[in-house]
């Protein structure tokens, strides 16, 4: 059985802040906000140096947040 292709994750990474996402999947409102009513967040993955827990600031600059989304 062929599995449907997954949507690429939204990736936010730092030292400096970089946001990467598929521009064909989200519609912009002109105010810096993008949305797609047909997609839902399925998971969030946070990796990097100096991360003790998710409600405290990371001490390292190598932090990546991946937001996994798809159809409901």
DSSP string, 48-61: ETT---TTS--SSS
For the segment 57-70, the average pLDDT, to the nearest whole number, is 86
Q: Would you state the pLDDT for residue 2?
A: 53
pLDDT digits (tens, 9 = 90+) for 20-49: 999 999 999 889 999 999 999 999 998 888
Task: For residue 1, name the pLDDT band (cuts at 50, 70, 90).
Answer: low
Helix runs in the chain, H state only: none
State pTM to two decimals.
0.78
Q: Would you state the pLDDT for residue 39?
A: 95
């Amino acid at each position: 059985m062929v599995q449907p292709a997954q949507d690429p994750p939204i990736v936010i990474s730092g030292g400096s802040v970089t946001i990467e996402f598929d521009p064909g999947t989200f519609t912009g409102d002109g105010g810096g906000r993008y949305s797609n009513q047909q997609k839902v967040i399925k998971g969030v993955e946070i990796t990097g140096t100096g991360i003790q827990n998710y409600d405290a600031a990371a001490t390292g600059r190598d932090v990546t947040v991946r937001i996994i989304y798809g159809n409901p």
